[in-house]
């Protein structure tokens, strides 16, 4: 089994970590089911353990996965009808089923067993009917922070279109990021926000995200599950911290090569909940699990923003 390191995905931001896990998930599910993922403690870069010997070989396989997707499909292995698209510009996301109607949703997209399994994984990640919003709609994943007319379909479709137009974005995602004007980062990338403070002329500009990394990060979503705690949704990796409680994402880096189920178990492990009112992490307990670093991030809304979005993910020290 070969070991391939991705130097651009240093585990110091949620986008990079999720992109590494998304890459690993795609290789495991479509190329090599013996693939494993670890992180180098020296530079915090992810290491893919698989039959693929080089970064170029990994990119070739990822590019083939994208190329083999039918034109009307936005998720590898899913039917063209998933996720449901909005008709017109008004109304809520058509994927937001009413509470109590989520259970049979997966089977409504396809009769193919493999496609139904793929859809179920995505739905379990993106939605939960254990809690609902003011309109009685199923709550969404904490990894999502939709703004305006964004839907699950548009969230998945837009980064894919950029990658399909230029597959070189996949190579850049793993080796050296290049930001592209107009790419939002799907609220996972705080550096994509280009405000007047960053602009030499003091003028607000379009967002500048990393399309390949963004798409790969989205491909990690089926690895997670959205359930609920109390009256609030809770997605794998998210924790309520402090008083009043603030939602914080905690993603670990580990040194032992792990498969998909072990990665999910580690991200959801109770040790990442922390102890005390501030939910402080226990370094010794983390070390026993093979965790050498935890990336923490919280949502930040733009100043004076009228958007209902939860805001962009920003790493915290």
Sequence-ordered strand ranges (E) for the chain: 2-5, 36-39, 46-50, 127-132, 138-140, 180-181, 208-209, 226-229, 232-235, 238-241, 246-254, 291-300, 312-316
Looking at residue 137, its pLDDT comes to: 85
Q: Which residues contact 111 (CB under 8 A, 6 or more apart)?
A: none
Name which of 196, 171, 167, 212 is nearest 55 in CA terms: 171
Q: What is the pTM of this model?
A: 0.93
Instruction: Report whether 100 contacts 129 (CB < 8 A).
Output: yes
Looking at residue 88, its pLDDT comes to: 64
Name which of 247, 267, 255, 256 is nearest 292 in CA terms: 255
Break the chain into its structural domains and give their ranges: 2-316
Looking at residue 46, its pLDDT comes to: 98
Q: Which residues of 32-52 are buried (b: 16+ CB within 10 A; e: fewer)?
A: beebbbbbbeeebbbbbbbeb
Task: Provide the phi-psi class of 271: left if phi over 0, else alpha when psi is between -120 and 50, else beta.
Answer: alpha
Q: What is the DSSP letter of 86?
A: P
User: Which portions of the chain are predicted below pLDDT 70?
Assistant: 88-91, 194-205, 302-307
Q: Cα–Cα distance between 138 and 153 in angstroms, integer?
A: 16
Name the one residue in this structure whose structure tokens are 């930001």. Answer: 179
Looking at residue 313, its pLDDT comes to: 92
Looking at residue 68, its pLDDT comes to: 96
Q: Cα–Cα distance between 120 and 107 in angstroms, integer?
A: 8
Instruction: HSE, CB side, 13 Å, CA atoms: give it for residue 8.
Output: 20
DSSP string computed for 32-58: -TT-EEEE-TTT--EEEEES--SHHHH
């Amino acid at each position: 089994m070969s070991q391939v390191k991705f130097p651009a995905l240093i585990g110091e931001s949620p986008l990079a970590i999720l992109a590494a896990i998304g890459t690993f998930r795609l290789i495991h599910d479509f190329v090599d089911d013996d693939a494993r993922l670890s992180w180098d403690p020296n530079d915090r870069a992810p290491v893919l353990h698989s039959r693929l010997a080089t970064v170029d070989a990994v990119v070739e396989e990822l590019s083939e996965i994208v190329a083999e997707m039918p034109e009307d499909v936005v998720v590898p292995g899913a039917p063209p009808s998933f996720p449901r698209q909005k008709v017109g510009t008004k109304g809520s996301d058509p994927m937001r089923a009413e509470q109590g109607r989520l259970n049979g949703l997966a089977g409504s997209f396809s009769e193919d067993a493999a496609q139904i399994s793929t859809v179920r994984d995505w739905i379990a990640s993106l939605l939960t009917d254990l809690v609902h919003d003011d309109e009685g709609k199923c709550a969404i994943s904490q990894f999502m922070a939709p703004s305006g007319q964004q839907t699950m379909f548009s969230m998945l479709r837009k980064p894919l279109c950029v990658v399909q137009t230029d597959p070189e974005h996949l190579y850049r995602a793993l080796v050296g990021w290049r930001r592209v004007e107009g790419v939002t980062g799907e609220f996972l990338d705080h550096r994509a926000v280009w405000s007047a403070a960053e602009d030499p002329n003091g003028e607000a500009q379009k967002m500048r995200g990393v399309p390949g990394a963004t798409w790969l990060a989205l491909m990690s979503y089926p690895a997670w599950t959205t359930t609920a705690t109390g009256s609030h949704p809770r997605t794998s990796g998210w924790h309520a911290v402090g008083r009043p409680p603030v939602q914080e994402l905690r993603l670990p880096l580990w040194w032992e090569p792990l498969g998909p189920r072990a990665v999910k178990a580690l991200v959801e492990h109770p040790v990442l909940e922390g102890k005390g009112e501030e939910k402080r992490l226990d370094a010794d307990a983390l070390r026993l699990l093979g965790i050498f670093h935890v990336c923490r991030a919280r949502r930040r809304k733009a100043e004076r923003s009228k958007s209902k979005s939860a805001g962009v993910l920003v790493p915290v020290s």
